[in-house]
Amino acid sequence: MQQSDSLVIGGVELDSRLFIGTGKYSDDALIPAVCEASASQVITVAMRRVDKNGTGVMGHIPSRMRLLPNTSGARNAEEAVRLARLARAAGCGDWIKIEVISDTRHLLPDGYETAKATEILAKEGFTVLPYINPDLYVARACVDAGAAAVMPLGSPIGTNRGLRTKEMIGILIEEIDLPIVVDAGIGRPSQACEAMEMGAAACLVNTGIASSDDPVAMAMAFRRAVEAGRAAFLAGAGAVRSGGAVASSPLTGFLR
Amino acid sequence: MDTPVLADTFAPGEAHFDECLAEWPRERRAALASSITERDVLAALEKDVLRPEDFMALLSPVAAPFLEEMAQRSREITLRFFGRSVNLFSPLYISDICTNHCRYCGFNADNHQKRRHLSVDEAAAEAFALADAGISHILLLTGDARHIASPQYIADVAARIKPRFASVGVEVYSLTLDEYRLLIRNGVDSMTMFQETYNRDLYEWLHPAGPKHDFLWRLNTPARAAKAGMHSVGIGALIGLDEFIHDAFCTGLHAWWLQKHFPGVDIGLSVPRMCPHEGSFEVKHGVGDRQFVQYIAALRCFLPRCGITVSSRENANMRNHVVPIGVTRVSAGVSTAVGGRVVDAENSGQFDISDHRSVREMTRDLAALGYQAVAKDWEACDF
Amino acid sequence: MRITVNGETEEITEGLTLLDFIIGRGLDPGVVVAELNRDIVAKDNFAAVRLNPGDSLELLHFVGGG
């Protein structure tokens, strides 16, 4: 019998383990087709001031998608909290991806400020998904602060370099009892597959899809990769080593 | 009895190990153990991070033919995390008056041998003899008689001897949170508490009376000590009381759970095997040497960073051979009797030891194996 | 009268509600979030809130992001 393998975050059951973004498309009009091809159910957006002729991205997002607004632009916990509250006022749910970055050169998240913002927003009833360096202590602080999942980066944002932080993400998967959503750095489907095979709960892919030559086809490729990786994780990897006791017994030869 | 146990140890909603153990009832363990295949064993040997299910695979009889491979894997992990060093310690029995009736123990209250309770001065004299012999990590042991060997008495001995030891540990009866804090304030940094067996019915039969009878109170003691702020917490089952696979599995599960919930505490394991003693207890589930080595290797694969202690219950030959496989801590200069070094002893001790090597002899023998005996592994910086 | 909108000072007609102002800008009040003098204004209140001289208004919406 087929067992359900849905991912539950903040009480919401998701069938798809691929989260997608809305940034960096050559044309936002591609987004509906990307949503369709990826089968994703969660999509990130950013919050910005309206400009004179800006139309925003909402018109391109199918209504079935769950919105995951981020707090990009926030340089500390206070700004992240302000952005999160504004995002909730838009009336599209209470999920929030905390992103606090004050280093514009490397765009690495500030774990301390992120955990602070997580605590405040979790208390206000948000479903909080903090974007962090895969640091065990920061992840634990986010768990204690009431996060619904943690989102460690695979490599610096936008680099498409894959799972450079694989060892550290492995430790989070081992130690943290919340879903681990690998965010940032996943440029190719094989990298997403690898993350899922390790036991990540989901992957968030934006640049890898948006900056490809054919985002719709790439969205489909990522969908299949994430599904394949998940299936492999559930199936359990087989032993590589061949069986049978070794001929000489240098360590246990003393036993009769 | 349950409510005060939890009230003392845990805040409401805080996780405790008896819940984890309840998720692994005997039937579930037995079903898992009987489902293990050769493939499961090989897969467990391939993994970097093992789950409790993998640990069970390595403990099972199906893994027995792979003992050498397990030992190789265990050695490789141990070398990576501990290098070629072994910590030396010595136990010091300071009081053998005991109100418990543990059916298997030489200190059982029903054994009407003469007892000895050292004064603080006498205990210090014995301890300093160990320090003179080169011991820096000492483990204080008492029977369960809190009206005589009280928490304050243990704290007083610890405070007196601390200046001459890098680490003072205790292996005494189960204390309250506040009592552990009292010991810590007086220089104690580590504690060892053997569950003896994780089989509750058997446990209650083995400990028919006395304060030790309460299974849950004892089961949650290591977490209580960790919560109080102990730097190191050691656990172990007395192998031979229950079927090997059950107590071996639960010991690993307990350590795994403690590591997860107290990441700042150094969790250690001891692997005591029952040996003859003065009473007439029949060891029903004794384990042979091969299974004993399998136990050590399985623990090492499952818990790569746990210290593993093998006491002088094991003979010199066994200890020499399990050090390269995965043991990181051994005792030396051991006597299980109260007194005997400087002050007079009244009896021959809690159990017969098999390895009588002195600190000097142990250091020499470890060197011959290619290992350095480390007398001082750690010391709190606030002393 | 003068108010500040998204950091820039603007001259606007007196007596406008927030809803009037948003619609006058050609924006969809359904997707715009408003923060008036650092307080978030609930969408239901756009029609009830009247703009006053010296107000500082932030109008935001969702844009592409990862």
Residues of A with Cβ-Cβ distance to C32 under 8 angstroms: 50
The stretches in chain A having pLDDT less than 50 are: 1, 242-245
Q: Kindly tell me if the per-residue pLDDT of C1 is higher than 50.
A: yes
Q: Kindly tell me if the per-residue pLDDT of B369 is higher than 50.
A: yes
Q: How far is C46 from chain A (nearest CA, A)?
A: 12
Residues of B with Cβ-Cβ distance to A175 under 8 angstroms: 260, 263
CA–CA gap between residue B251 and residue B239 (Å, rounded) = 10
Report which DSSP code applies to B48.
S
Radius of gyration of chain B (CA): 20
Per the prediction, chain C carries an average pLDDT of: 91
Most confident of B6-15, B33-42, B373-382: B33-42
Q: Kindly tell me if the per-residue pLDDT of B73 is higher than 60.
A: yes
Q: Are C56 and C36 in contact (CB under 8 A)?
A: yes
Q: Do chains A and B touch (3 or more CB pairs under 8 A)?
A: yes
pLDDT tens track for A190-207: 999 999 999 999 999 999
Q: What pLDDT sits at residue A1?
A: 42
Instruction: Name the closest residue on chain A to residue B322, using Cα atoms.
Output: A251
How far from A171 is each of A164, A176, A185, B53, B268, CA to CA, in Å? Answer: 14, 8, 18, 19, 21
Q: Kindly tell me if the per-residue pLDDT of B278 is higher than 50.
A: no
Q: Where are the alpha helices (DSSP H) in chain A?
A: 31-38, 77-89, 111-123, 136-145, 166-175, 189-198, 207-210, 215-235
* B148 exposure class (CB count in 10 Å sphere: 0-12, 13-18, 19+): middle
- A26 touches C: beta carbon within 8 Å: no
Residues of A with Cβ-Cβ distance to B48 under 8 angstroms: 170
Residues of B with Cβ-Cβ distance to A245 under 8 angstroms: 65-69
* Cβ distance of A245 and B66 shorter than 8 Å: yes
* Cβ distance of A255 and B67 shorter than 8 Å: yes
Q: What pLDDT sits at residue B2?
A: 42
* Cβ distance of A22 and C58 shorter than 8 Å: no
Which of A242, A251, A256 to probe by mutation at the B interface, max B CB count within 10 Å?
Answer: A251
How distant is the alpha carbon of residue C39 from its chain centre?
11
First to last CA, chain A: 47
Q: Which among A170, A175, A251 is the nearest to B324, CB-wise? A: A251
Q: Are A22 and A44 in contact (CB under 8 A)?
A: yes
- A247 touches B: beta carbon within 8 Å: no
Average pLDDT over residues B276-281: 60
pLDDT tens track for B182-240: 999 999 999 999 999 999 999 999 999 888 999 999 999 999 999 999 999 999 999 99
pLDDT tens track for A43-97: 999 999 887 666 788 889 999 999 999 999 999 999 999 999 999 998 889 999 9
Pairs of residues, one from chain A and one from chain B, whose beta carbons lie less than 8 Å apart: 52
Which positions of A are catalytic?
A: 97
Q: Kindly tell me if the per-residue pLDDT of B319 is higher than 60.
A: yes
Q: Kindly tell me if the per-residue pLDDT of B272 is higher than 80.
A: yes
Q: What pLDDT sits at residue B192?
A: 97
Q: What pLDDT sits at residue A53?
A: 62
- A231 touches C: beta carbon within 8 Å: no
- B42 touches A: beta carbon within 8 Å: yes
Task: Report the predicted TM-score, pTM, of the whole model to 2 decimal places.
Answer: 0.79
Q: Kindly tell me if the per-residue pLDDT of B383 is higher than 50.
A: no
CA–CA gap between residue B192 and residue A219 (Å, rounded) = 55
Q: Where are the alpha helices (DSSP H) in B38-119?
A: 38-46, 52-59, 67-82
A214 Cβ neighbours under 8 A, 6+ residues apart? none
* Lowest mean per-residue pLDDT among A114-123, B94-103, B363-372, B374-383: B374-383
Chains contacting chain C through 3 or more C-beta pairs under 8 A: A
- A22 touches C: beta carbon within 8 Å: yes
* Cβ distance of C62 and A157 shorter than 8 Å: no
Asked if the interface predicted TM-score (ipTM) of this complex is over 0.95, the answer is no
- A175 touches B: beta carbon within 8 Å: yes
- A252 touches B: beta carbon within 8 Å: yes
Chains contacting chain B through 3 or more C-beta pairs under 8 A: A
Q: Return the higher-pLDDT residue of B347 and B232.
A: B232
Per the prediction, chain B carries an average pLDDT of: 90
Q: What pLDDT sits at residue A85?
A: 95
Q: How do beta strands C2-5 and A127-132 pair?
A: unpaired
Q: Which among C27, C34, C43 is the nearest to A91, CB-wise? A: C43
- B317 touches A: beta carbon within 8 Å: yes
Q: Which among C42, C61, C65 is the nearest to A70, CB-wise? A: C65
- C37 touches A: beta carbon within 8 Å: no
CA–CA gap between residue A148 and residue A152 (Å, rounded) = 13
How far from B10 is each of B177, B181, B224, CA to CA, in Å? Answer: 9, 15, 8
pLDDT tens track for B251-261: 999 999 999 99
CA–CA gap between residue B371 and residue B382 (Å, rounded) = 30
- Tell me which residues of chain C, numbers 42 to 61, contact chain A at a CB-CB cutoff of 8 Å: 42-43, 58-61
